[in-house]
Structure 1
């Protein structure tokens, strides 16, 4: 999985990026929006691979704050946002809060 695949789904509308119920709840609790996820995908980069089908993307939200999006590939044109969080682990993310 690479950034090109994920961005292609957003730009073409062919395929989906879904957010589960639990993830939506955590997203709101942490003060993020769907727009923050989109911004992070477009300006971020893969900083960690968690197996063959899951990656951590570090980028910036709509307000230019650092953000990490964990996203999993479920099928060719289907991705699922696993979680969204601030980059607080200094060992995993260059730009930590």
Structure 2
């Protein structure tokens, strides 16, 4: 059994960046799921043109804000994409962090 270090690095910046990474990963995962659901509804014709337009603007604004927050905390798309081992990356290729 490996031994834990006597002291855990609790540097404020590292903790803040780690927490931001975790929160932004969850937000990005939810954004992708909502976007996929919206696309399914659009393909089925369940939404009026006005609803489609409003959702498009909302998703674009959310993606822009996500990119701003990643920049603010010095995070990249790779920082948010958790490796799930044999299952592959959590976010896959859908998030490139470029806007």
TM-score relative to the length of structure 2 = 0.24
Bigger fraction of residues in strand: 1
TM-score relative to the length of structure 1 = 0.24
Rg larger for: 2
Bigger fraction of residues in helix: 2
Structure with greater contact order relative to length (CA < 8 Å, sep ≥ 6): 2
